[in-house]
Copies of this chain bind each other. A is one copy, B any other.
């Protein structure tokens, strides 16, 4: 298992915020209901996103959350990193906080034997990081809109299929 539910819930939360537009705030309660997620747990998750300056909040009644930037500018590497803390493929990788979440292997070099597997894990990590960085929140929102056209909404202007009727 690469990622925990933090990543899952967090991304779904961002998607939901994105669907609502950037002008209005959405309460966590509303999201918890519509996505069927535990509210108290969501609170802790959204805190991570706020610390990473991916969302903004308004307190008090009628408050809530909204995206801090347009979905096109939110890449998944930033998101997953904020939610999971780091992206080390292996325990012997230690975080060097070089801003991008890259991470280095540091096995106490056991008397000449270095991490022979370092090459492999590094390749994987770089690959994952690139995949995540290449995916924007906007893409996911678009993907979801295509999947489940909301009641009352048209099934997107031109989803590809020219409407069966």
Q: B119–A139 contact, CB under 8 A?
A: yes
Contact residues on A (Cβ < 8 Å of other chain), bracket:
35 or more
- Using CB atoms, name the residue of chain B closest to A35: B113
- Per a CB cutoff under 8 Å, which of B1, B116, B143, B144 touches A143? B116
The majority secondary structure among interface residues of chain A is helix
| A61 contacts B by Cβ under 8 Å | no
Interface string of A112-130 (1 = CB under 8 A from B): 1110110111011001101
- Per a CB cutoff under 8 Å, which of B36, B114, B143 touches A147? B114
Given the interface contacts A11-B117, A117-B8, does A131 sit within 8 Å of B127 by beta carbon? yes
- A100: min CB distance to chain B, Å: 17
Inside 8 A of A3's CB, which chain B residues have their CB? 89-90, 121
Inside 8 A of A112's CB, which chain B residues have their CB? 148
